[in-house]
């Protein structure tokens, strides 16, 4: 991934952190992002100690302006964008769907789905301009089965699968891949 630039949302811990480290090991310059700058800076230091390149950008993917600023900062810093990994997710509700509060549902859909649409829409033109790129959405096995306790989360992850298909149709002719 030499000469490639990647944004990984939710990369201050867990799966996103592991993805950020692996992208850097493969030569990508990585934008580590989550809501807390200090947590992102810790991951950047780890990547740099391992010989990689990265920057930290605080971003709440549930806010469209933050997502736009994230892409702008990436272009400002590196002059390009080749890979987005939509990893950030939220699940503030556990229990049956009949007890799901509207606010919790809205947050799940905004963070787990809408933010991916925003990020891919902001990133896509930059990727197409460079001749191609990769949009990666991190879904979940919960997308494939019903759930008595995390139904809205499962619904959001199933929607990501369809979003990847739509993105592939919309961007594929410009050599931008979309996978989930």
Select which of 55, 153, 157, 164 is catalytic. 153
Catalytic annotation present for 153: yes
Give the chain's largest Cα–Cα span: 50
Buried b (16+ CB within 10 A) or exposed e, 102-124: eebbebbbbbbbbbbbbbbbbbb
For 143-168, give one letter per residue: b (16+ CB within 10 A) or e. Answer: beeeeeebbbbbbbbbbbeebbeebb
Q: Indicate the angle between helix axes 151-171 and 102-109, nearest 10 degrees.
A: 30
Element (H, E) at 91: none
Q: Under a CB-based contact definition with an 8 Å cutoff, are residues 71 and 122 in contact?
A: yes
CA-atom Rg of the chain in angstroms: 16
Catalytic residue list: 153
């Amino acid at each position: 991934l030499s000469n490639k630039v990647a944004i990984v949302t939710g990369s201050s811990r867990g799966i996103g952190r592991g993805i950020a480290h692996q992208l850097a090991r493969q030569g990508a310059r990585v934008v580590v992002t989550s809501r807390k700058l200090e947590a992102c800076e810790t991951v950047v230091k780890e990547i740099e100690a391992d010989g990689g390149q990265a920057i930290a950008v605080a971003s709440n993917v549930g806010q469209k302006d933050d997502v736009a600023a994230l892409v702008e900062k990436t272009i400002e810093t590196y002059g390009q964008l080749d890979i987005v990994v939509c990893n950030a997710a939220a699940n503030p509700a556990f229990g049956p769907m009949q007890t799901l509060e509207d606010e919790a549902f809205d947050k799940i859909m905004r963070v787990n789905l809408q933010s991916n649409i925003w990020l891919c829409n902001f990133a896509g033109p930059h990727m197409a301009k460079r001749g191609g790129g990769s949009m990666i959405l991190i879904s979940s096995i919960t997308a494939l089965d019903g759930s008595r306790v995390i139904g809205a989360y499962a619904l959001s992850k199933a929607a990501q699968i369809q979003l990847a298909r739509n993105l592939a149709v919309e961007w594929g002719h410009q050599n931008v891949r979309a996978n989930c």
